[in-house]
Chains A and B, each alone.
Chain A
Amino acid sequence: MTVLLEAHDVRRVYRLGGGRVLQAVAGVSLHVKEGESLALVGESGCGKSTLGRALIGLEPVDAGAVLFDGENLATLTSRRRHALRGRMQMVFQNVHAALNPRRTAGDSIAEPLRIHGIGRAAIPERVRVLLDLVGLPEQAAVRYPHEFSGGQRQRLNIARALALDPALVVADEPVSALDVSVQAQIVNLFRDLQARLGLACVFISHDLAVVRQMADRIAVMYLGAIVEEGEGMAVLAAPAHPYTRALIDAVPRPDRPLPPPLQGEVPSPLSPPPGCRFHPRCPHAIGRCREEAPILRDIGPGRKVACHFPLI
C-alpha cells in the first residue's frame, strides 16, 4: 500500500499573552497508508485535535511539514489546495454544532458539491446516494438539523465529508458525544464505509474500546508528542510505554479489579517537564528519565516507543 499522508516533525505553537508559549503539537511524525485507519489516542488536551486539523491543512504548522500524496500542504497554490480539499475531509465531535442550523440536511450535504462546481443537475441524485450511503432515508434531505437525533446528525456529517469522494477522513472524536448504543452503530458505519470506499482514516479518540474496533494502527499521544506507535492489536495486547499501559489499565474490566490509577494530573503544556514528558506520573521513572528525553525509536517491525525502559 502506498503512503497517502505523511507528517514530518510537525509542530504547532500557540503564543499566549505575557510571552507564554503553548506547544500543542511538539514534533510529531507519522504516516497513513491508503485505506488504512490510524487511531490517535490520548487524554484531552494532549494536542490530538490540533494535530488532526493540521493533518488536513485546517491548522497551519509552525515547523515540519504535512505531505498529502507527496504534496506539502503548506506550499500549495491556492488553486491546488482547493482541489485537494475534497480529497481530505473531517468529521467533527460536536454533532450539534457541526451542521448549520439554518440549512436543511440536503442543503448541507450539497454544499461541498456546489463549492467544487458540480453541475446543479447532478446534485439531487448525488445527495440521495450519499444519504443512502450513511443509512438515512431520502426524505431526510428536506429536514433541519434540530429534527434529527445525535446519531443521525453524525451520519449527516459523515455524508457531507464523503460528498467529494475523499481519500482521507480525519474523524475527531466522532462518537464520544453520542449514546453508547449509538456509538456502536456509527463505528460500524465507519468500518463499513472504509471497506467499501477504500477510505484512509485518522480516528481521534480517547476511548480504547472504540479504538479497538476501528484502528489498524494506533499512535498514543502524550503532551503533544507520540509516545508509542504500532499495530492496533499488538499495542493493546502488549503496550510498550508505561502511559499506554496506564490507559489500557484504566478501562474497567469484569475479570479484575481496577489497578491504581495514574498519579497526578497531565502537566501544563505551557511548561512541560524536562526529560521524559511522562516522568512525573510514571511508576518506573528513575534519574535518567528526569534528565534525558527519550526519542521515538523502533523496537520491532512497525513498532515504535519513546521510552528509555520499554515494557516489552
Chain B
Amino acid sequence: MSEGGPWVRLARQVLRRRGAVAAFSALLLIVLASAAAPLYAAWVGVDPFASDVAGTTIRDGREVDLMQPNDNPLHLGLTPIGPDWRLGPYAMGADPQGRDVAARVLYGGRNSLLISAASALLCLAVATGLGLAAGYFGGWVDAVLSRLLDILWAVPVYLLAISLSIVTIGHALHLGIVTIASDNLLIPVAIIALVYIPYAARPLRARALALARAEFVLAARALGASHWRILTREILPNLLDTLMVLAPLLMALCLLAESSLSFLSLGVQAPAASWGTIIQDGEGLIYTRPMVAILPGLAIVATVLALNVLGDALRDVLDPKGGRR
C-alpha cells in the first residue's frame, strides 16, 4: 500500500515511464516555443504577418531579394528565398508572400495549440455534463441523449466540421445581442468541440453508469445526499481518471481537425497563421521550397505523437482494465 493521495500516486507512476516523460517534455518545449513567438519575431527582426514580396534580407553579408527568380530554364515567376539554417531572419526561408516561415510556424503553433486545447476542453466539459446525466439518471434521459450522440457520431466528423465551417465562414454570427465576427477563433473551437462530443461522451457515460451503481453512491443516497451532491461530489471526482486519459487523446484529434480545416481555409483566417494554413501556403512550393510545408507538418506530427504517447501512458496508469493499479 503506497502512501499519499491519488494525485501523488499518479504523478509517481507517470514519471516512472520514460516515454511519458519524453512526450511531456516535447509538449512543454513546443508550447513554450509557440508562446515565445513574439519574442522570436522581435529578436530576429521580422514581421510575420505583413506581406513583403519586394523586401530584402542579408545573406552571407550581401543584401538579397526575398523573392528570387525561378531556377527553371526560362526564369519565369518568383520563388521565395530558401532556408539558410542559421539563427536570424528567414532562417527557414520565406513563404510566397515574403514572410518569415520560422516565425510564422511559431505563431501558427499558438493558434493551433490554443484552438485544439480550447476545443478539447469545451468538448470535455459538454461531454462530461451529457455523460453524467445519461449515466446517472439512466432511463429516458439516457435513451434520448445516447441516441442524439449516436446520430452525431454517425456523421463523418470532417464532413460535419467542413459543412459547419462553410456555413459560418464569411458571415458574422448574431446570437441575440452578441455578435461573433467570422474570423473569431471561437468559431473553429466550437465546431471542432461539437463534432468530437460523442467521442468523449461515450466513455464518460459508461463510467458514470458504472459509478452510479457503486455502493458508495448508494450509501450517499442512504445518507440523503441530493442528486447534485452525488453527481458533483461522488461521481465527478471519479471521472477525473477518464477525463485525464481523454484530454490528451482528444486534443490530438482536435489539433488534426483544426489543421485540416485551416488547410482548407475554413479555420484560422489570413493573415493569422496556424500550422494548417502554413502547409497550404507551402503546397505550391513543395518541390522547390519544401520546408514551408514540412516545418508545420513536423510540428503537427510531433505534437500529435506526444499527446498520444502521453494519453496512452495515462491510460496505462489509470485504466483499471490495464490491470496496473
Contact = CB atoms under 8 A, between A and B. Distances in A.
B223 A111 contact: yes
Contacts of A45: none
A97 B223 contact: no
Interface residues on B, range: 20 to 34
B323 interface: no
Contacts of A88: 222
Interface stretch (B46-54, B126-134, B212-220): B212-220
A100 B6 contact: no
A116 B218 contact: no
Contacts of A103: 237
Interface in A137-167: 144, 146-147, 157, 160, 164
B139 interface: no
A157 B223 CA distance: 12
A194 interface: no
B215 A94 contact: yes
B74 interface: no
Nearest to A53: B218
Interface string B36-67: 00000000000000000000000000000000
Given A100-B216, A101-B6, A115-B229, A56 B222 contact: yes
B224 A100 contact: no
A299 interface: no
B17 interface: no
A99 interface: yes
Nearest to B229: A115
Interface in B202-248: 214-216, 218-225, 229, 233-234, 237-238, 240
Contacts of B178: none
Interface string A105-128: 000100110011000000000000
A236 B219 CA distance: 32
A88 B221 CA distance: 12
B218 A58 contact: yes
Contacts of A146: 1
Contacts of B322: none
A144 B225 contact: no
B77 interface: no
Interface in B1-45: 1, 3, 5-6
B225 to A, nearest CB: 5
Given A85-B222, A97-B216, 7 more contacts: A92-B218, A97-B214, A100-B216, A100-B237, A101-B238, A111-B220, A115-B223
5 contacts: A81-B224, A85-B224, A102-B237, A115-B223, A157-B219
Interface of B: 1, 3, 5-6, 214-216, 218-225, 229, 233-234, 237-238, 240
